[in-house]
């Protein structure tokens, strides 16, 4: 996946009352717990716009962009390309990037994330809009 293949500057929120998980997700892995090492969890994430069909309507989802080899996230089983659906049991579909980062940072020394492999979603990569 290339950084140019995903739009990542969300400016809106999904205002639907239910943010349980993205409708694009077909199956979830069991939650994994990542124990922080120093100040790092060993991964970066990126917010992506997920457009509804050919319309300009989109929601925001979050993808693991990089996992530091040998780092805490790698050891816990997180993979680059995973779609993050929950942080500490809280659904993140529709949240902006800073809100997800805040959920992770306020976790203390460990964070629990629920993910699904990107290829197990109905999200298709297209040109940036």
pLDDT for res 17: 38
Q: Quote the pLDDT of residue 50.
A: 87
Residue 96 has pLDDT above 90, yes or no: yes
Instruction: Return d(Cα 10, Cα 1) in angstroms, integer.
Output: 19
With tokens 């992770």, the residue in question is 104
Q: What is the pTM of this model?
A: 0.76
Nearest to 61 by CA among 111, 18, 113, 25: 25
Position 1 scores a pLDDT of 45
Domains in the chain, please, with CATH?
Answer: 29-120 (2.30.42.10)
**Mean pLDDT, residues 13-41 taken together:** 69
Q: Select from 27, 14, 10 the least CA-distant residue to 121.
A: 27
> Is the pLDDT score of 15 beyond 70?
no
pLDDT digits (tens, 9 = 90+) for 68-93: 999 999 999 999 999 999 999 999 99
Q: Which pLDDT score is estimated for 40?
A: 92
> Per-residue pLDDT for 32 more than 60?
yes
Please list, residue by residue across 45-72, b when 16 or more beta carbons sit within 10 angstroms of its beta carbon and e when fewer do: bbbbbbeeeeeeebbbbbbbbebbeebb
pLDDT at 81: 93
């Amino acid at each position: 996946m290339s950084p140019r293949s995903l739009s990542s500057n969300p400016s809106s929120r999904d205002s639907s009352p239910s943010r349980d998980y993205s409708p694009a997700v077909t199956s979830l892995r069991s939650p994994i717990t990542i124990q922080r090492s120093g100040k790092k969890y060993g991964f970066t994430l990126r917010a992506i716009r997920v457009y509804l069909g050919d319309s300009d309507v989109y929601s925001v989802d979050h993808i693991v962009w990089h996992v530091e080899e040998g780092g805490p996230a790698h050891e816990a089983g997180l993979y680059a390309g995973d779609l993050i659906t929950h942080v500490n049991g809280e659904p993140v579909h529709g949240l902006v990037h800073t809100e997800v980062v805040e959920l992770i940072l306020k976790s203390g020394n460990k964070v629990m994330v629920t993910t699904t492999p990107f290829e197990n979603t109905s999200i298709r990569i297209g040109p940036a809009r």
